[in-house]
Amino acid sequence: MKAKRKVGNLLGLAVLGYLVREPMHPYELSRLMRAHGDDRSIKFTHGSLYMVFGQLEKAGFILAHETTREGQRPERTVYALTDAGRAELKDWMRELVAEPRHEYPQFVAALSMIAALHPDEVVALLRDRLDGLRRQVEEAESVMAGTDAHPLFLVEEEYRIALLTAEVAFVRHFLERIEDWRPLWAGFHEEER
């Protein structure tokens, strides 16, 4: 069994990945992540980013490269990747790419308890979900069409579209089967009649 990572937050992985390019200040890294659309893949705030920088520094994966001050502004520390950070980045990436992990999506959790809702309500909610999924597919396709970036740097959007397309197919199939399941489902909602 693999040892637990010193920093397991995926935001830490993103920080290591950006610092491979050059030393950066957390604010600059945040700005680049948003400009590159990484906030579509990794959830973060300025506060969480600064916290991860501190964790990575404590773990020895990054270090303060340069600290400057301009006028009355606070000190500005630029961080650089260490050799240990570079090794951690590569090891972590190899693990994430090669080893499938069980994830806990919220929709799967909702599906596991779907009988708590009346089938008529589920049908309406799933139709709303289909509309939302279609909008997300359009958004991802728009991101891909609106850039001249190399496809290598858009692979996460391709993956996002594949997942969304699979979910659309699942939801449509589920909607078709609800009618067949009404007799079983009715037992959960007899008291509502």
Give percent of the chain above pLDDT 70.
97
Q: What is the mean pLDDT of residues 80-87?
A: 97
Q: What are phi and psi of 183, to 5 degrees?
A: -60, -45
Residue 176 has pLDDT above 70, yes or no: yes
Q: Per-residue b/e over 92-106, b at no fewer than 16 CB within 10 Å?
A: beeeeeeeeeeeeee
Q: What is the mean pLDDT of residues 170-186?
A: 90
Q: Which residue has the higher pLDDT, 70 or 126?
A: 126
**Residue ranges per structural domain of the chain:** 10-98, 106-192
Q: What is the mean pLDDT of residues 142-150?
A: 81
Residue 117 has pLDDT above 90, yes or no: yes
Least confident span in 24-33, 110-119, 150-159, 165-174: 150-159
pLDDT of residue 89: 96
Across the chain, what does the average pLDDT equal?
90
Q: What is the mean pLDDT of residues 4-29?
A: 93
Query: Is the entire prediction scored with pTM above 0.85?
Result: no
Place of tokens 């067949």: 180
Q: What is the mean pLDDT of residues 75-87?
A: 94
Q: Which residue has the higher pLDDT, 72 or 18?
A: 18
pLDDT of residue 192: 54
Least confident span in 16-20, 22-26, 64-68, 112-116: 64-68
For residue 187, the one-letter residue type is G
| DSSP reduced 3-state for 45 | coil
Pick the CATH number of 10-98 from 3.40.50.300, 1.10.10.10, 3.40.50.920, 1.20.1440.80: 1.10.10.10
Q: Per-residue b/e over 147-159, b at no fewer than 16 CB within 10 Å?
A: eeeeeeebeebee
Confidence band, pLDDT 50/70/90 cuts, at residue 145: confident
pLDDT of residue 57: 97
Residue 191 has pLDDT above 60, yes or no: no
Confidence band, pLDDT 50/70/90 cuts, at residue 133: very high
